[in-house]
Amino acid sequence: MPTTRHDVVQQLQARLAGVDSMDEAALEREHVHVLGRKAGLLTAALKSISQLPIEERRTFGAELNQLRQRFESAFEARRRTLSQAVRSQEDDVDLTMPARTTWSGGIHPVTRVIDEIVEIFHRLGFAVAVGPEAETEWLNFGALNFPPDHPAMDMHDTLYLDVGGDPPEGERMLLRTHTSPVQIRTLQASPPPVRVVIPGTCYRNDTFDASHAPAFSQIEGLAVDEGITFVDLKATLIHFAHEFFSPDTKVRFRPSFFPFTEPSAEMDIGCLLCGGSGCRACKGSGWMEILGCGMVHPNVLKSCDVDPERYTGFAFGMGPHRITMLRYGIPDIRMLFEGDMRFLSHFGE
Amino acid sequence: MNISRKWLEAFLRQPLDTHDLTERLAMLGAPVDSVERSHAALSGLVVGLVKDTQPHPDADRLSLCTVFDGQDDYQVVCGAPNVEAGKSYPFARVGTVMPGGFTIEKRKIRGLTSYGMLCSAKELELGEDAGGIMELATDADPGTGFLEAMALDDECLEIDVTPNRPDLLGHKGVARELAAGYGIQFRLPAIEGDYPSVPAPVRADGAEGTTGGVRVAIEDPEGCSRFLGAVIRGLTVGPSPEWLRSRLEAVGTRSINNIVDATNYVLMELGQPLHAYDLTSLHGPAVIARRGVAGETVLTLDGTERTVDGDMTVIADEDGAIGIGGVMGGETTEVRNSTRDIFLECASFQPSRIRRTRSTLGLSTDASFRFERGVDRWAAPDALRRCLEIILATAGGTLDGDPVDVWPEPTNPPRIFLRPARVRQVLGEEIPWEALEQYLVAIGATVVSKPDDGRMAVDVPGWRPDLREEIDLVEEVARMHGYQNFSSELRPFRVGSLPDATSDVAARAVRRGLSAEGLYEVVTMPMHRGEGAESVPLLNPLSAEEAFLRRRLIPGLVREVERNWAQGVRDIRLFEVGTVFRMAGPGERPEEEIHVAGLISGRRHPRHWTDGGHSGDCDQWDVAALFRRAVALANPAATVQVEGGSWVAVSAAGSVVGRTERIDADAPPWAAPVYGFEVVLDPAERQSQRYRALPETPGSTRDVSLVLHQDATAEAVETAIRATRGTRLESVEVLSEFRGGDLPAGSRSVAFRLTFRDPERTLRDAEVDKAFRRILQAVQQQVGVAPRAVDGGAAEE
């Protein structure tokens, strides 16, 4: 055992310098030799402090404790280095090689948009309602206050079905041009309060091109109860726009016309592309049309045996395909009807 | 509807900013689809002042002009005879692009350089006059933009008019809305030129009258409620004056002659279609509005012979039909250049009859478009007088007698009662009585307040056929109040009383489940070619390829597989959840079902380098697993069975509700086989899972290899194993299959692992061995299958 305190410190410092080049066995031996609980050099030195004069204890003790910490971290660092070296020597693995994957799969972007819209309205107390895609003229038009031989029909280029028989006027079968017949079905089946959203496929006699599809999805909403007003319509749909797009989305309502609502409105949001300064996508107006809406026309309530003097309501409808195209910047609606794996996997989960 | 900004300015007597106009029209319910600058091609031209003109030294017909553009003098060689010093002309400097698209360049003409061009009206596409340079009657400074100096700097706004607002199909209606918005007055623009005052039309007794020697009669009062007419004699058909021509051109209507232009002007200004007849071609002379006679033909102005029917209103003279009322006039009575005397018609036709007529004839015109939406019949006398004044001012002639007004059953626009309480009930805000009155007066209604019974009586204007009930007035109030001025505070509400549709809940679970299996959802078109008599045909299909509604989803998915192959994609995993249709009885609603289908082709797992690039392709066992998963999600009450070389799902009622398929497709040589499945979605509500206690005692397993002869199936063996009672058997698992070796031909050895467990206590080995032996005996007896070797002993779980 060294005799002077100086010798002790010097000897320990020399050994400390050697730790970095030790192999595993030497490292463990050295650990015992220096820090061993029974006969470690440093342990012994620390034990000897109590025999020193009071004034020397503090400085020497501090010096030794510092050394102990340095040894501990040197041993730890060397062990880590050795274990890494050993592992990669044993396996010879290049960890930058690709990981093993599985097929991820995914829900269609339009379905996701629908789900997201439904979710927002779920939180506002709306339930999901559905209805058939093949409908009668009456439910698609008549019950919704479309006058016969009226130009309002021009907005609905209709695909009719050939189901044989000789159905009378109004009973002819067609592919619904909007999800609005489900409004009638819902109100006829259950008394107010009614709050439903209606996702579904609709059909128009439109040529399939970049912006039109003969079959497309629509989401309709309907709220009927006592005391529902135009203010509730605005508030609900602004809330939706802020939830779906962003809380600072600009929203405006402007007058429009639908036979089944009055007053009717279009809801625009600030253009998603130019932010309102005007671009080609918004025809320079700074606004984008997102949905049509209005207060349920009293004649619609009457055709469902709901008293329009007691109950009022609002309805709205929007096109998830168009919203999907806006949200993801998809230039051509036809891509949304194709099963191109490369396209679909962009939207994988 | 095309609207000219300048025309609106003439109504409102104040300049309008196009951007502001666009905003206001949108907020009033007539959004602007596009804005086009009129004569945009002429924007490079300026007013050029000719300071001096000299004959060209080397050419008799050319002159040498000095043209000043406000900054510099230019030498211009000109071929027209009419250029005079001190006058202004349209000047195209070097670099100006002309309407035809060519660019003016520096050019040598007979030895002298010409720096630009003075233009004729024809060169500017402003008229047919090519003879001389267009002299500008302007005091604008040289260098001023030509369009600005000539007041041609207009914009054409294409507004999107909803079908309920025929009043916006004329400039006056748009001006009226804007005036209400700006809070100002509007007046009809003045007609340029001199004309005598036109007397008010005189009401005829009953359904017949005369004017200027022409008999005017209504024989179809349902189809034509009112018919006004007038005769002008001694007029001159010719080109229209500049003001009339430019008004029409500003809204995209080609100028024809002063008579046709006058009727088109009134059409675009007031929304009232009129028609002028060559009087000498009218037999009788008489003009009669009557029903068509089946088989009767009319040669319309577009040169087509049209066959009419009894639902149509025709205009006839004493000899027969000469026009289709409210749709198009006839060629035989058309106004020609030689016409001196005309009969002018201004009539009101029934909207739905016009709609059916134009639809039957496939002939939509400016007139039919307006009549089927509703033209203000109470304003017809004003429209007729306006048109007569323009004709008298531009074509001369004299009115022969007072105009006649045949209106057998006069009516008034409806009176509607509005309750302020109802306004509040629908709109959610209190709008004071005075404001309600003010809004309704602004749209042209007459309001008679009846505060004692809490209602106001509203006489709606004739130009608003859409205002029929109280709710229509509520909308007008909201519109004039401004939608933006209503509160948008989210208030408490009652939630609806309905649950989510169970089929939608089920469909969403299927989508989540199948995408978790690594499949991508697709949405395909539901219109296909037919598949047998149960396919539902469309009456008016888009094409023969899309003439039926789909019966199943797989054919549509196969097309998408082929699309992927065409792109060189080999690994394909798709599914769809969609509606399919099947014919029901004649005239009945087709049956609809939601189906779930999927297709897989290509590698079972994405390629990974640890496989050495040899990951196997999907086979029938992969589709079998997916199918079971799809059935569990879509039709949980169904059971999966083997049938005819594939798997089927059978409902509790015994019908097949799903199956797997090996797909034959038009595959490239490198493609992998395609497997598919399709299942009917059961829309019934799903039972929720129940908690089952997890075992607390250890299980014991026994493995056995059974030699299955040709007729034995794994299912039969498993059934026999499970059917043995009192064994405390928990599960049966197939471990492996072996063929060949010393096994008899056609036989195979299948290894099963049986797990036994008692939930209450640990089973003793002897008990398990006993149960195991009983099971093997039962299998031997029932299926005729014996162990190859018993791998006895208890395996730890």
Mean pLDDT value of segment B722-729: 89
pLDDT at A259: 94
Tokens of residue A78, six digits: 């060397």
- Long-range contacts of B119-124, Cβ-Cβ distance < 8 Å, separation of 24 or more: B119/B45, B119/B89, B119/B90, B119/B91, B119/B92, B120/B80, B123/B98, B123/B99, B124/B39, B124/B42, B124/B45, B124/B90, B124/B99
pLDDT interval class at B312 (50, 70, 90):
very high
Residues of chain A with pLDDT under 50: 1-2
Tell me the fold of B202-406.
Answer: Phenylalanyl-tRNA Synthetase; Chain B, domain 3 (3.50.40)
User: Is the per-residue pLDDT at B175 higher than 70?
Assistant: yes
Residue B458 belongs to what H/E stretch?
strand B455-459
| Continuous H helices in A173-296 | 181-189, 230-244
Boundaries of every domain in chain B: 2-38+155-182, 40-149, 202-406, 415-481, 502-680, 700-795
Q: What percent of chain B has pLDDT over 90?
A: 71
Q: If contacts are CB pairs under 8 Å, which of residues 311-330 in chain A contact chain B? A: 312
Q: Do A256 and B355 touch (CB under 8 A)?
A: no
Right CATH for B2-38+155-182 from 3.30.56.10, 3.50.50.60, 3.40.190.10, 3.40.50.1370: 3.30.56.10
Backbone angles phi and psi of A145, in degrees to 5: 70, 25
Beta-strand ranges (E) seen in B244-381 are 275-278, 286-291, 297-299, 305-307, 313-317, 320-324, 328-329, 342-349
Contact state of A338 with B563 under an 8 Å Cβ cutoff: yes
Name the residue facing B564 among A124, A207, A340 (closest C-beta): A340
Fold equal for B2-38+155-182 and B415-481 = yes
Fold of domain B502-680: BirA Bifunctional Protein; domain 2 (3.30.930)
Cβ-based neighbour number of residue B543 at 10 Å: 11
In whole angstroms, what is the distance from residue B148 CA to residue B151 CA?
5
pLDDT digits (tens, 9 = 90+) for A326-340: 888 898 999 999 999
What are the extents of the domains in chain A? 5-91, 109-345
How many angstroms separate the CA atoms of B338 and A113, rounded?
66
Interfacial A residues in 210-239 facing B (CB < 8 Å): 213-215, 217, 223, 225, 228-232, 234-236, 238-239
Average pLDDT over residues B15-40: 88
Q: What number of residues does chain B have?
A: 797
- Of B635, B634, B662, the C-alpha closest to B646 is B662
Which residues in chain A have Cβ-Cβ distances shorter than 8 Å to B488?
A: 231, 234-235, 238
Are the C-beta atoms of residues B241 and B289 closer than 8 Å to each other? no
Query: Six-digit token pair at B617?
Result: 């392709």
Chain B positions in Cβ-Cβ contact with residue A256 (cut-off 8 Å): 29, 162
Mean pLDDT of B128-136: 76
Residues 6+ apart with CB under 8 A from B749: B705, B706, B707, B708, B737, B738, B739, B743, B788
Could you give the CA distance from residue B567 to residue B565 in angstroms, rounded to a whole number? Answer: 5
What pLDDT, on a 0 to 100 scale, did the predictor assign at position A90? 60
- A297 and chain B in contact, CB less than 8 A: yes
Residue with tokens 């008004």: B247
pLDDT recorded at residue A87: 63
Name, in order, each residue with C-beta under 8 angstroms of A335's C-beta and a sequence gap of 6 or more: A343
What span, in angstroms and rounded, lies between the C-alpha atoms of B76 and B66? 6
Among A179, A251, A254, A336, which would you mutate to test the B interface (most chain B Cβ atoms within 10 Å of its Cβ)? Answer: A254
Strands, sheet with B415-418, edge to edge from the N-terminal-most edge strand:
B415-418, B455-459, B446-450
Three-state SS for A41?
A: helix
φ/ψ of B227, rounded to 5, equals -140, 115
| Preceding omega of B285 cis (within 30 degrees of 0) | yes
What is the pLDDT, as a whole number, of residue A211? 87
Tell me the three state secondary structure of residue B635: coil
pLDDT at B339: 95
Q: Is B93 helix (H, G, I), strand (E, B) or coil?
A: coil
Question: How do beta strands B572-582 and B520-521 pair?
Answer: parallel
Pick B700-795's CATH classification: 3.40.50.1100, 3.40.50.300, 3.30.470.10, 3.30.70.380: 3.30.70.380
Contacts of A165 in chain B (CB under 8 A): 585-588
Mean pLDDT of B557-563: 95
A108 to B27: CB separation less than 8 angstroms, yes or no: no
> Where would I find the H helices in B433-487?
433-442, 470-481
What is the dihedral sign for C-alpha A273, A274, A280, A286? positive
What is the fold, at CATH topology level, of the domain defined by B40-149?
Answer: OB fold (Dihydrolipoamide Acetyltransferase, E2P) (2.40.50)
Most confidently predicted of A73-82, B69-78, B768-777: B768-777
Mutate to test the interface with A, among B498, B535, B557 (most CBs of A within 10 A): B498
Q: Taking a C-beta distance cutoff of 8 angstroms, is the pair B215, B286 a contact? A: yes
Residues B146-171 have pLDDT tens digits of 888 877 778 899 999 999 999 999 99
Percentage of chain B with pLDDT > 70?
98
B791 backbone dihedrals φ, ψ, rounded to 5°: -85, 75
The DSSP code for B759 is: S
Q: How many whole angstroms separate alpha carbon B270 and alpha carbon B463?
A: 10
CATH architecture, domain defined by B415-481: 2-Layer Sandwich (3.30)
- The answer on pLDDT for B790 being more than 60 is no
Judge whether A109 and A336 are in contact, CB under 8 Å.
Answer: yes
| Residue B613 confidence (pLDDT) | 67
Nearest to B89 by CA among B122, B153, B133: B133
B342-363: pLDDT as tens digits: 999 999 999 999 999 999 999 9
Asked if the model's pLDDT at residue B794 lies above 50, the reply is: no
Q: Residue B186 pLDDT more than 80?
A: yes
Our CA angle for B440, B445, B451, nearest 5°, is 65
* Distance from C-alpha of A105 to C-alpha of A348, rounded to nearest angstrom: 6
Distance from CA of B162 to the nearest CA of A (A): 6
Among the partner residues A165, A195, A253, nearest to B496 by beta-carbon distance: A195
By CB neighbour count within 10 A (0-12 exposed, 13-18 middle, 19+ buried), where does B326 fall? buried
Question: Scanning the structure block, which residue is given the tokens 């039909």?
Answer: B321
Q: Give the sign of the dihedral formed by CA B235, CA B237, CA B241, CA B247.
A: positive
Which residue of chain B is at minimal alpha-carbon distance from A314? B426
Query: Residues of A with CB below 8 A from B483's CB?
Result: 234, 252-255, 263, 265
What CATH architecture is A109-345? 2-Layer Sandwich (3.30)
Residue A164 zone, left/alpha/beta (φ > 0; ψ -120 to 50; rest): left
Residue B221 in tokens: 């009062």
User: If we measure between CA atoms, which residue out of B255, B222, B250, B220 comes closest to residue B240?
Assistant: B255
